A and B are shown apart, each in its own frame.
Chain A
Amino acid sequence: KAGVTQTPRYLIKTRGQQVTLSCSPISGHRSVSWYQQTPGQGLQFLFEYFSETQRNKGNFPGRFSGRQFSNSRSEMNVSTLELGDSALYLCASSLQGSPDTQYFGPGTRLTVL
């Protein structure tokens, strides 16, 4: 079974731009979660989607948004990028959502200049 895939793997943007990251979950998984990983803050939860509904959201500004499609694929969007948004963005999928085991993708490395 194919794992979680994320595109693109690397992205360079400038301040003020917006970015969209994509995540394709493992086939059959209906829950997709997003996390931000930085050296200073570690792994922080962004949001979780299940059957196109956001069930939980972390403490991030409204510039961070997401959605899930009917095929369970998910996108996250960051508008008006700031230097501090530079991070590895990880997507994880699971059958029904935590506490089911979450399977992580390789991440998208976003650099904001």
Chain B
Amino acid sequence: AQSVSQHNHHVILSEAASLELGCNYSYGGTVNLFWYVQYPGQHLQLLLKYFSGDPLVKGIKGFEAEFIKSKFSFNLRKPSVQWSDTAEYFCAVNGGNDYKLSFGAGTTVTVRA
């Protein structure tokens, strides 16, 4: 069965600090990988996704993620966070054609001004 683990439950940063959120997955076959974000009071929305090709993917709002197949990881990064990046971040995995997303537990990121 697929599983997704996110390393940090809550991260607190100051503005302009760098952010890295860890995500590891367990799945034996081809995977598609996603990071979703939920800003306070808003819907879940897609930050970025990886299907194939360049393992370094860029998303919205300056976020990027790197897929390392040998480590079953898909870590999210942002070089310099802003107060508006305060949100909950979810890593998700889709395995082949199973038509579902398996989510990690989420990481709450608080950015202090």
| A residues in contact (CB < 8 Å) with B | 3-4, 31, 33, 35, 42-45, 48, 50, 55-56, 58, 90, 92, 97-99, 101-107
Chain B neighbourhood of A98, CB < 8 A: 32, 94, 98-101
In whole angstroms, how far apart are the Cα atoms of A97 and B105 in the complex? 22
Segment at the interface with A among B11-19, B20-28, B44-52, B77-85? B44-52
Question: What's the minimum C-beta distance from A70 to chain B, rounded to whole angstroms?
Answer: 19
Chain A interface, >50% SS class: strand
Verify A99–B43 contact, CB threshold 8 A. no
Question: What's the minimum C-beta distance from B15 to chain A, rounded to whole angstroms?
Answer: 28
| B residues in contact (CB < 8 Å) with A | 32, 36, 43-46, 49, 51, 90, 92, 94, 98-106
Verify B49–A101 contact, CB threshold 8 A. yes
Question: What's the minimum C-beta distance from B106 to chain A, rounded to whole angstroms?
Answer: 6
Q: Which 8 A-B pairs have the closest CB atoms?
A: A99-B32, A43-B103, A104-B44, A98-B94, A45-B100, A48-B99, A56-B99, A97-B99
Question: What's the minimum C-beta distance from A106 to chain B, rounded to whole angstroms?
Answer: 5
- 11 additional A-B pairs beyond A3-B43, A42-B104, A99-B94, beta carbons within 8 Å, are A31-B99, A33-B99, A33-B101, A43-B101, A45-B102, A48-B99, A55-B99, A92-B44, A102-B101, A104-B43, A106-B43
Chain A neighbourhood of B43, CB < 8 A: 3-4, 104-107
Which B residue's beta carbon lies closest to that of A102?
B101
Which B residue's beta carbon lies closest to that of A47?
B100
Verify B100–A56 contact, CB threshold 8 A. yes
* Among B43, B46, B94, B105: residue with most chain A CB under 10 A: B43
Can you report 5 A-B residue pairs in the complex whose CB atoms are below 8 A from each other?
A: A43-B103, A43-B106, A44-B103, A101-B49, A106-B43
A98-B32, A99-B32, A101-B46 known; A45-B104 Cβ under 8 A: no
Verify A42–B106 contact, CB threshold 8 A. yes
Chain B neighbourhood of A107, CB < 8 A: 43
Question: What's the minimum C-beta distance from A37 to chain B, rounded to whole angstroms?
Answer: 9
* Among A33, A45, A50, A92: residue with most chain B CB under 10 A: A45
